[in-house]
Structure 1
Amino acid sequence: MQISRLIARLPYPSATLQRGAAIAAIIAQGGIGVTGSIVRVTGSGLACPTWPQCFEGSMFPVQHPEYAALNTWIEFGNRMLTGVVVLVAALCVVVAWRVWLDHPERKRLLALAWTMPAGVVAQAVIGGLTVLTGLLWWTVAIHFLASTVLVWLATVLLHAFGEGDTPPRWRVPPVGRGLLVALVVALAGTLVAGTTVTGAGPHGGDSDVPRLQAPIETLVQVHAAMLVTYLVVLAVFGLQLLRVGADRRLWRRYGVTWAVALAQGGLGSLQHALGVPEELVSLHVLGAMAVIVTTATLWCAARDRGPAVGHSPATEPALAITR
C-alpha cells in the first residue's frame, strides 16, 4: 500500500511525540466543545446561516444587515477550529500507523487513533445538521455529546500509546470493575441530563431558537441527582481500593477524579445560583471535559495491559504511563 510505504519512511515516533499527539487530541476535542459553548452563550450560532459555507456564495464572513460582525466571526472561528482538530486527528493516525508498521500486534492502538478522524467526520455532519435545523436543542445536545465521547477516546488513546496490547489484567476485583462501569454510566447520565438543562435554559445560540419545553428546575434537580449518583459510586469504588490495597498511582488518579468532580459540582451550583451567567457556562463545559478525562484516566489505571513495546520487539519498553 502506497500510504504505508510513505509512512514507513518516517522516523519511528519518540515517546514524547506519541504522548504529545494524544494530548493534543484531548485538548482539540475538548476545546471544540468549549468554543461551541462560547458560540452558544454569545448568540452566534446562526451568524453563519449556511453550511458548509458561512453565507450563501461565500465560505468567509461578509457584511450582512441581519448579523453582527462579531457574532459572525465567533461562529466562523469555531468552524475554523475544525481544521486544527483535523490536523491533530491526522497526526494521531500517522503516529499510530508508524508504530503499527513495526509492531503489527498493535491493532488496538491503530483502531483507537482512527476514531479521531472518524469523529471529525461525524461532528461535521452533526454540525451541519445543527445549523440547517436552526439550532434545535436536541441537535446541539448531540453535537456536544459527540465531543464528550471523542474526549474519552482521546484519553484512552493517550494510555494506549503507553501500554501494551495484552488482555487487561484488572487491579480491582469484579465488584470494583462493576462499580467502574456504573461510574461511567452515571457520568453519561449526568452529561445527558446537563444537555436538557441547556436545552431549556437561556443560552440557545440565537434569540429565535425554540427551547426545550420542560420545567428547568426539575431538569436541574435531575442533573444534580445524576452527579450525586456519580459521587456515591466513586466513594464506594474507593472502599474497593482500600480493600485490595491499591497502589499509589491508582490512589492519586482517584483523588484527582474526586477533586475535579467536586469542583465541577460546586461550579454548577454557583452557576445556577447566579442565574447562569455566560462566563460560567463555558467554564462549566470545560469542567465537564475535565471530569471525562479524569474518569477515563481512572478507568485506564484500574487495569494493566503490560508494557508498551519500543522501536523493535528486542528493545526495552519505551512508554509506561499507565503502569
Structure 2
Amino acid sequence: MIGVYQLFLRLVDRLPLPSTKAQQRFALAALLSQALIAVTGSVVRVTGSGLGCPTWPKCFDDSLVPIPQDEVPWWHQAIEFGNRQIAVWIVVTTSIAIVLAVTRARRRREILIYAWIMPLSTFAQGILGGITVLTGLRWWVVGAHMLVSCAMVWLAATLYAKVAEPDDGAEIETAPAGARRLVAGSAVVMALVLTAGMIVTAAGPHAGDRTNPKAIDRLDVSIPLLSLTHGLLVALYVGLLIWAAVLIARGPSSEAVRRRVKIVFVVVAAQSLIGVVQYFTGVPALLVVLHVAGAMSVIAEAAILYRLMSARVVRGSDRTTDKLAA
C-alpha cells in the first residue's frame, strides 16, 4: 500500500506546483460543486424527475443514457440524467483537482485528509443516490442523501478556510472562547434545522416523481406542526448567533471574524425570508430551489466563520484570515 502511495506521489510531482491562491481556487471549486449538486438535486425533486432514470447506474436497464419512453417524459429523463452528469463530471473533477493540488504542494496532514474526503464522499453519495432511485424515492433515503450533501458543504467550506492558512503557522484564538462555543452550539442547532426542513419536505407537496405519485413514500405528519418546529429551531439558531455576535463585538476578535459574522447574518436573513414567503405561497418549486441554495450558503458561511475563530496564522499577523474576510 505504501508503495502505491509513493508511486502516486511521484506521478503527482510531475504536475506544476500550485500556489496557495491556486489551491484556494481549487478548494472553492470543490465547495461550489458540492453546493451545486444539492441544488440540482432539489430541481430533480420539485420537477418530479426523481425517477426520470428509473434504474442505476444506468438510466434504463438496457441503456446508459435516456431513450424515448412513453411512460417517462423526456424532460424528466433529461433533468435526472443531467443531475447525474453534474455529479460525475463536475463534482468528481473538482474533488480530484483539490486532492492533486494539495498533494503536489505537500500541505499538512489535516488538509490532505479533508481533501481526500471530497472524492471518497462523492463516491459514497453516488451509491446513496443509487439506493434512493432503486428504493423508489423513500423519503428517509432522499432525506439522508440531502443531509449528507449538507455535511459535505460544511467540510468543503472548512477545507477552503484551512487551505488559506500557512502550514507552519500557530493555532491561535481569534475570537472570545465563549463566542466560539456559541457558534459551535449554533452549528448543532443548524443540523437540527436542516433535519426538520428535510422532514417538512418529506411531508410536503414535492414528492420527487410525477409518473407514479401514489407509489412514492410520503411522511404522513402535520405540515403546520413540522413547520412550527422548524421555525422554532431557526429562532434558536438565530438567537445563538446574536449572542455570539455580541461577544465578538465586545471581545478581542480579528477583523476577519467581525466581517464574516456580518455575512452570516445577511445570508441567514435572506434564507429566513425565502422560507417565510415559501410557506405562505404554497411552497412553489422555484422558492424550494432557492431555499436549498440558501441553506448551502448558510452552511458554508457558518463553517468558514467557525474556522476563522480559531485559525492557523503567522504570529503577529492577521493577514491569513483576512484573505477569507473579503
- After TM superposition, the score normalised by the length of structure 1 is 0.92
Corresponding residue number in structure 2 for 1:221: 228
> Using the alignment, how far apart are the partners of 1:87 and 1:27 within structure 2?
12
Residue 239 of structure 2 is aligned to residue 236 of structure 1: no
Corresponding residue number in structure 1 for 2:3: none
Corresponding residue number in structure 2 for 1:289: 296
Residue 97 of structure 2 is aligned to residue 91 of structure 1: yes
> Using the alignment, how far apart are the partners of 2:170 and 2:218 within structure 1?
46
Tell me how far 1:242 sits from its aligned partner.
Answer: 2.5
Tell me how far 1:322 sits from its aligned partner.
Answer: 4.9
Instruction: Give the direction of change, closer, same or farther, for the CA distance of 1:322–1:283 in structure 2 (3 Å limit).
Output: closer
Corresponding residue number in structure 2 for 1:314: none
After superposition, where does 1:115-134 map in structure 2 within 5 Å? 115-134=117-136
Query: Are the aligned partners of 1:37 and 1:281 in contact in 2 as well (CA < 8 Å)?
Result: yes
Instruction: Give the direction of change, closer, same or farther, for the CA distance of 1:114–1:320 in structure 2 (3 Å limit).
Output: farther
Residue 174 of structure 2 is aligned to residue 168 of structure 1: no
Instruction: Give the direction of change, closer, same or farther, for the CA distance of 1:304–1:95 in structure 2 (3 Å limit).
Output: same
After superposition, where does 1:240-279 map in structure 2 within 5 Å? 240-279=247-286
Corresponding residue number in structure 1 for 2:160: 158
Instruction: Give the direction of change, closer, same or farther, for the CA distance of 1:81–1:58 in structure 2 (3 Å limit).
Output: same
Tell me how far 1:185 sits from its aligned partner.
Answer: 0.5
Tell me how far 1:213 sits from its aligned partner.
Answer: 1.0
More moved, 224-233 vs 159-168: 159-168
Query: Are the aligned partners of 1:163 and 1:320 in contact in 2 as well (CA < 8 Å)?
Result: no
The alignment partner of 2:313 has SS state of coil
> Using the alignment, how far apart are the partners of 2:10 and 2:40 within structure 1?
38
Residue 104 of structure 2 is aligned to residue 78 of structure 1: no
Aligned length in residues:
311
More moved, 193-202 vs 240-249: 240-249
Gaps of 5+ in 1: 309-316
Tell me how far 1:178 sits from its aligned partner.
Answer: 1.7
Gaps of 5+ in 2: 1-5
The alignment partner of 1:168 has SS state of strand
Query: Are the aligned partners of 2:33 and 2:94 in contact in 1 as well (CA < 8 Å)?
Result: yes
Corresponding residue number in structure 2 for 1:148: 150
> Using the alignment, how far apart are the partners of 1:25 and 1:122 within structure 2?
16
CA deviations over 1:77-117 (Å, ceiling 9, x no partner): 001111211111000100011111xx5xx111111100100
Corresponding residue number in structure 2 for 1:311: none
Residue 221 of structure 2 is aligned to residue 196 of structure 1: no
Query: Are the aligned partners of 1:190 and 1:226 in contact in 2 as well (CA < 8 Å)?
Result: yes
The alignment partner of 1:305 has SS state of strand
Query: Are the aligned partners of 2:26 and 2:98 in contact in 1 as well (CA < 8 Å)?
Result: yes
Q: Tell me the percent identity.
A: 39
When the two chains are superposed, the root-mean-square deviation of aligned CA atoms in Å is: 1.8
> Using the alignment, how far apart are the partners of 1:255 and 1:290 within structure 2?
13
